[in-house]
Chains A and B, each alone.
Chain A
């Protein structure tokens, strides 16, 4: 049976979310995924959306896997059927135990095949509908509740994107290089957080897995996030030191360096899939949570915490760039490299700092992007959004990425009012092209940058 990790969550809530009402409900959120190698299972939450748009969790539904066992959903709609080894299982939902008026969205799919992988419980979804759902969808598309929910989601996306984009913009500013491998820095963060969360510091080497945390067995997700950010900085530093600094010194043209970043991106992306596999996975902690309601908007305490952390970090970045010596040096190099150099700034040192700092921020955003699923190409999937964000804000400007990212995040979510959700990322392309047509230097950019 799943164990509640609410103590951890409460500590997290107290530490980071004080005064943020949403986190208050952290203690009672749904139980977490327990993912230990020896303890696998098929999990899920049965729920449907009622006429008012609220989620209802169903208790007392029977599910079973032949020859393995079964479970009945608890009052939060959760079930978990433990299995002994990874492999494919056929899970059946006993439709007779569903409450009156609730049916499977696709009645032929009461029996699903689920593939359980090594490291995590496998979540499975039985989409349920009720006769009342028709009424729910007839609610105006543009209702205040829906728009505010979308704005909140957009803000969330925008905050994560802002963290992801700052590095790209600063690297461009200081070196003139558009780093197409930036998405892989994001993926790196996601994968590192997953790795530390599941295996601990060294647990990936089988014979060390038995060591106590933090070495084997996986560390808490919050520590894993911090470690992932550090690893992001390390990768950023390493890439600059091993690949790009020698290229700059050897006088490789910027366009050739741009092609190099593309090669690097593809190399890293497929190294990731080589070792990580193409399977989707989930973190051990905070994989699934029930949303809390807040002024009619829904947000899980996990996302709320991540948003607060993002805001704190972005404010810190803003202050850091504006007030600290290092930050001012970064902006100085961005504005005019030669002038900065002749006024005594060590430009190579600043560039190294920008890579470290951008890599760490990108990795951190990657850990947040990976909340729903951890994928080997998670960064490449949002590359378009990041490009749109930095171009809209002004490629190379320090604060532009932030402004652009928030605009892109919100615009994308708002666009789902009109277009299909599946196509929402296209909005970013439209914004990118409009920005180039109307104001190619970006909102915060200066005209001469485009030259």
Chain B
């Protein structure tokens, strides 16, 4: 087994592009769930909105790439508005039902034959991120090493922009949550009736929270498709939403830095496990393949089995997260 290779991969995964994308999506979800107590089970739908917002406006409308990015945020905000209107007055589980249904519908719509001229159907949209990479100060095709980390030049550029955005947005969320507005959100999370009794229009606050978190989710989607340089409908599978949930709960909902910590832990673990399994000695590997069907495909599926198991166990035994405190705990409050 090549432990050097495994550790190189695991280290690179610790701050890699996936960490940025999932942490951003989790920051959005943290605004929804961690601070406001909204059960958004469709965060991937907002990521898809961001991704297609850029992809479609460049590919189909022929707009400038940068205008497309602005359009993506507007689109995600409008989507949040549409999903919030019927559900935010109702009990928490209705928002969960509608958001999971909507995110899946967005995916099906995007990959459908009818929408193919607009969204590219199953093949998706490619080659629209050129203007972003044109600005790169790094050689796109070359490898760069920083200590234990090693990335392609294009990824270094994505990482630089991505981490800057991630930290700025996290700081912005922190300031917002310290403001009167953020305190109102937390009051709604703790006791909506009490917040209403104090004259706060909880419906509007929840709507603003849903839109803000959705737009942050869209940033995640935009960075993801820029990094992959293509928009593919099937990458926006509902299981992504629950990977984000797992990440948020690992870090602890309702805490400023938890999305970043959770995302980093999650991706390091997953990359380590997958690479270790792939690098097993051949005879052990074939024994495992015969007994527990550990094929390459199944190693990839193992990730989601672990996500499911992890989410279940975390929600049951440690809903405040590994580092979270019981005081900032949306899952307990109702």
Are A and B subunits of one complex? yes
Q: Which residues of A contact B (CB under 8 A)?
A: 178, 180, 243, 247, 252-260, 262-271, 273-275, 277-278, 380, 383-384, 387-388, 391, 419-420, 422-423, 425-426, 428-429, 432-433, 436-437, 440, 450-451
Query: When the two chains form their complex, are residues B293 and A256 in contact, meaning their CB atoms are under 8 A apart?
Result: no
Question: B residues within 8 A CB of A260?
Answer: 311-312, 315-316
Cα separation A425 to B92 with both chains bound (whole Å): 24
Contact with A along B282-325 (1 / 0, CB 8 A): 00000000000100011001101101111111111001000000
Which of A253, A263, A273, A391 touches B310 (beta carbons < 8 Å)?
Answer: A263
**3 nearest CB pairs, A to B:** A267-B308, A263-B311, A263-B312
Judging by beta carbons under 8 Å apart, are A258 and B308 in contact?
A: no
- B104 touching A265 by the CB < 8 A rule? no
Q: Are A271 and B305 in contact (CB under 8 A)?
A: yes
Q: Which of B74-123 contact A (CB under 8 A)?
A: 85-87, 90-94, 96-98, 100-102, 104-105, 108-109, 112-114
B97 neighbours in A (Cβ, 8 Å): 178, 387, 391, 432
Q: Which of B91, B98, B297 contacts A278 (CB 8 A)?
A: B297
Interface digits, B144-166 against A, CB 8 Å rule (1 contact, 0 not)?
00000000000000000000000
Are A255 and B334 neighbours in the complex by a CB distance under 8 Å? yes
A270-B112 Cα distance, complex, nearest whole Å: 25
Could you tell me if A255 and B92 are in contact, using CB atoms closer than 8 angstroms? yes
- Identify 21 residue pairs between A and B in the complex whose beta-carbon atoms are under 8 Å apart, listed by A's number: A178-B97, A252-B315, A256-B315, A258-B39, A259-B245, A259-B331, A260-B315, A260-B316, A266-B305, A267-B309, A270-B301, A274-B305, A275-B293, A278-B297, A383-B104, A384-B104, A422-B113, A423-B109, A423-B112, A450-B91, A451-B91
Task: Give the one of A247, A278, A423 with max B CB within 10 A.
Answer: A423
> Once bound together, how far apart are the Cα atoms of A270 and B309, in whole Å?
10
A438 (CB) vs chain B CBs: closest residue:
B86
Cβ contact of B331, chosen from A255, A264, A425, cutoff 8 A:
A255
A266's closest neighbor in chain B, by CB? B308
B332 touches A253 (CB 8 A): yes
- Docked-complex contact B316 and A265, CB < 8 angstroms: no
- Shortest beta-carbon distance, B330 to chain A, in Å? 7
| A440–B94 touching, CB < 8 Å | yes
Q: Are B334 and A253 in contact (CB under 8 A)?
A: yes
Smallest distance from the beta carbon of B102 to chain A beta carbons, Å?
A: 6
Q: Compute how far the CA of A267 lies from the CA of B311 in the bound complex, rounded to whole angstroms.
A: 9
Q: Which residues of A contact B316 (CB under 8 A)?
A: 243, 247, 252, 256, 260
Q: Given known contacts A178-B97, A437-B86, A440-B94, is B104 in contact with A263 (CB within 8 Å)?
A: no
Chain A neighbourhood of B305, CB < 8 A: 266-267, 270-271, 274
Give the interface size class of chain B: 35 or more
Structural contact, A266 and B109, CB atoms closer than 8 A: no
Tell me, yes or no, whether B41 is within 8 Å of chain A by CB.
Answer: yes
Q: How many A-B residue pairs have CB under 8 A?
A: 143
Q: Out of B98, B239, B314, which one reaches A436, CB within 8 Å?
A: B98
Report yes or no: A436 in contact with B308, Cβ–Cβ below 8 A.
Answer: no
Shortest distance in angstroms between B241's beta carbon and chain A's nearest beta carbon?
9
B90: chain A residues within 8 A (beta carbon): 436, 440, 450
A33 to B132, CA, bound (A): 54
Task: State the CA gap A425–B106 with chains docked (Å).
Answer: 11
Q: Is B242 an interface residue (CB 8 A)?
A: yes
Q: Which residues of B contact A436 (CB under 8 A)?
A: 86-87, 90, 94, 98
Interface residue SS majority, chain B: helix
A420 CA / B121 CA spacing, docked (Å):
14
A264–B90 CA distance with the chains assembled, in angstroms? 25
* List of A residues within 8 angstroms of B311 by Cβ: 259-260, 262-263, 266
6 additional contacts (CB under 8 A) given A255-B330, A263-B315, A270-B304 = A258-B93, A270-B305, A274-B293, A436-B86, A440-B94, A450-B90
Q: Give min CB distance, A448 to chain B, whole Å.
A: 12
Given the complex of chains A and B, what is the CA–CA distance between A436 and B86 in angstroms? Answer: 6
Q: In this complex, what residue of B is CB-closest to A184?
A: B308
Chain A residue numbers with a CB within 8 Å of B91 are 450-451
Query: With the chains together, A252 CA to B113 CA distance in Å?
Result: 44
CA gap between A15 and B332 in the complex, in Å: 53
Q: Which residue on B lies nearest to A381, using beta carbons?
A: B104
Q: How far is the CA of A383 from the CA of B108 in the complex (A)?
A: 13
- How many Å lie between the Cα of A391 and that of B86 in the bound state? 13
Q: Report which residue of A243, A266, A428, A429 has the largest number of chain B beta carbons within 10 angstroms of its beta carbon.
A: A266
Q: CA–CA, A278 to B301, complex, Å?
A: 10
Report how far A429 CA is from B106 CA in the complex, Å. 11
Is the beta-carbon distance between A256 and B331 smaller than 8 angstroms? Answer: yes
Chain B residues contacting A387 (CB-CB under 8 Å) are 97, 100-101
Is the Cβ of B308 less than 8 Å from the Cβ of A264? Answer: yes
Partner of B101, one of A254, A258, A273, A384: A384
CB closest residue in chain B, given A246: B316
The interface residues of chain A lying within 8 Å CB-to-CB of B297 are 277-278
In the assembled complex, the Cα of A377 lies from the Cα of B35 at a distance in Å of 33
Q: Tell me if B334 and A254 are in contact (CB < 8 A).
A: yes
Q: How many Å lie between the Cα of A277 and that of B301 in the bound state?
A: 10
Give bound CA distance, A451 to B108, whole Å.
33
Whole-angstrom distance between the alpha carbons of A242 and B86 in the complex? 36
The distance in angstroms between the C-alpha atoms of A437 and B239, with both chains bound, is 27
CA A391 to CA B97, docked complex, whole Å: 9
Least CB separation from B303: chain A residue: A270
**In the complex, what residues of B have CB within 8 A of residue A243's CB?**
312, 316
Complex Cα gap A425–B302 (Å): 30
Most chain B CB within 10 A, of A255, A277, A420, is at A255
**Closest residue on chain B to residue A426 by CB atoms:** B105
Cα distance A252–B333 in the bound complex, in angstroms: 11
Give, as a whole number of angstroms, the nearest-CB distance from B218 to chain A.
20
Closest to A425 in B: B108
Q: Which residue of B lies closest to A387 (CB)?
A: B97
- B333 proximity list for chain A (CB < 8 A): 253
Contact status B98-A264, CB under 8 Å: no
User: CA A258 – CA B302 in complex, angstroms?
Assistant: 23
Question: Cα distance A22–B313 when bound, in Å?
Answer: 50
Nearest CB on A from B41, distance (A):
7
What's the minimum C-beta distance from A334 to chain B, rounded to whole angstroms? 16
Q: Which residues of B sit under 8 angstroms from A268, Cβ to Cβ? A: 308
